[in-house]
Amino acid sequence: MEKSHPLFCSIHNHTTFCDGKDDIESMCRAAYEKKLYSIGFSSHAPSEKQLGREIFWNLKEENISNYINEVRAAKERWNGKINVFLGLEVDYVKGKRSSLDSDITSMNLDYIIGSVHYICPGFKGKAICSGACAECGKHSDELIIIDDSMEEFCKGLNDGYGKDAEKLMNNYYDAILEMIELGGFDILGHVDLLKKNTINRNLWLKDNEIKRQREVAEAVSKKNITIEVNTGGINRKKINEVYPSLTFLRIIKEFNIPVVITSDAHNINDINGNYNTAVETLKMADINKHYIFNGRKNNKTDWLIENI
C-alpha cells in the first residue's frame, strides 16, 4: 500500500452502531479519501447490564456480532486501499466493567481503548464503589458521568461529593490508575477527560492534579500501553485543546511513552479533525514521534513510528 506523508491513522471512531452519525462504509471511504494509513472502529462497548443502567450511547449487546461482521467485511472490501481494524472503547468501573471481562476478551479484537467515563463517590468511607451493592443497594445509580453536560457534572459534584471537587479529581485519577494496573487494553483513552467540565474553573490546586498525572505516566511507562492524543474535545467544540494537556504531555515525554493521534470521531468530517493542533501540541511538548496503528501481531499491537 502506498504511503502518503505525513502519515496518520484514525483508530478512535464511533459509528451508527453506537452514538456516531455515519456508518462503517462511509467512515472507511472518508479515511481512504483523506489518505490515512489505517482506520479503526472503537464502538463504546455494551455496559448496560454491567452498570445496571440504561446507556443510549453504547453498542447494544444484541448488535455485537453484526458490528464484528460489518467491520470484518469492510476490512475485506477495503483490502489494498486502506487498513481497517476492529476495536472497542471499553469503560472501566471498578468491580463492574473492564477490558478483562470475558465478553470482551473473547471477541478477538485488533485493539482496545480503555477509558474512564464514570466515577463513583463511594459510600460509608469507601473511596470508590466496589460493585458490591449490598450496603446501599443503589451504587449503580450513583455513578457520575464526567463526560456529560456541565449541568449533569455539577449535579454529580454537588450530590455525590458535597462539592468536594478535590475528592472527585482524586477519585478520577484513582480509577485511571486502577484501570492501568488491571490492564487488558492497548490504548489509554482521553486520559484527562475530567477537564471537559472543569477546565479553567480552579476547582482544585493544579499542582495536586499534576502530581496525580505524574503517577499515571509512571504507571503507563511500566506497561505496554500507548496514550492517545485525542482531538475530540476540539472537534466537538467542548474545549480548545487536546487530551492530554500540554503540561501532561510534557510529563509523558519524560517517561518516553508512545502516543497515537486520534479524533474520537462521531462523523466522517471529524475523522482526522484538528490533527494539526495535535501535532503542534506534541511539538511544544518536545515529543518528536507519533505512532501509527498497524494491527495486531503475535497478540501485541503493531505500530509504525512516524517522525514529527
- The conformation of residue 131, written as its DSSP 8-state character, comes to S
Q: Does 13 bind Zn ion (CB under 5 A)?
A: no
Shortest Å distance, C-beta 267 to Zn ion = 11
Q: Does 139 bind Zn ion (CB under 5 A)?
A: no
Strand pairing class (118-119; 144-145): antiparallel
Strand order in the sheet with 187-188: 9-10, 38-44, 83-91, 111-115, 187-188, 226-230, 259-262
Of 96-104, 110-118, 120-128, 286-294: span binding Zn ion (CB under 5 A): 110-118
Of 11-19, 24-32, 158-166, 198-206: span binding Zn ion (CB under 5 A): 11-19
Concatenated DSSP letters of 200-230: TS--S-HHHHHHHHHHHHHHHHTTT-EEEEE
Give the nearer residue to Zn ion in terms of CB position, either 118 or 161.
118
Which of positions 23-42 make contact with Zn ion (CB under 5 A)? Answer: none
Kindly state the number of chain residues that form the binding site for Zn ion, as judged by CB under 5 A.
5
Q: Which residue is nearest to Zn ion (CB)?
A: 19
Handedness of CA 279, 43, 23, 28 (dihedral sign): positive
Shortest Å distance, C-beta 10 to Zn ion = 12
Binding to Zn ion by CB under 5 A, coded x per residue (else -) over 228-267, reads: ------------------------------------x---
Provide the H-helix boundaries in 130-265: 150-161, 165-182, 206-221, 232-235, 246-254
Distance CA 43, CA 93 (A): 17
Shortest Å distance, C-beta 126 to Zn ion = 25
Shortest Å distance, C-beta 58 to Zn ion = 9
Residue type for position 208: N
By three-state DSSP, how is residue 281 classified?
helix
Grid cell at residue 218: 509512571
Q: Does 115 bind Zn ion (CB under 5 A)?
A: yes
Shortest Å distance, C-beta 1 to Zn ion = 26
Of 19-27, 58-66, 155-163, 280-288: span binding Zn ion (CB under 5 A): 19-27
| DSSP H helix total and E strand total for the chain | 10, 11
Give the nearer residue to Zn ion in terms of CB position, either 137 or 272.
272
Shortest Å distance, C-beta 44 to Zn ion = 6
Binding to Zn ion by CB under 5 A, coded x per residue (else -) over 74-93, reads: ---------------x----
Give the nearer residue to Zn ion in terms of CB position, either 48 or 166.
48
Provide the H-helix boundaries in 45-149: 48-51, 64-77, 102-105
- Residue 83: φ, ψ to 5°: -75, 130
Give the nearer residue to Zn ion in terms of CB position, either 89 or 110.
89
Give the nearer residue to Zn ion in terms of CB position, either 37 or 118.
118
Shortest Å distance, C-beta 290 to Zn ion = 19
- Among residues 14, 94, 97, 290, the one that binds Zn ion under rule CB under 5 A: 14
Other Cβ atoms closer than 10 A to 244? 27
Give the nearer residue to Zn ion in terms of CB position, either 48 or 207.
48
- Residue 271: φ, ψ to 5°: -55, -35
For binding to Zn ion (CB under 5 A), which residues are involved? 14, 19, 89, 115, 264
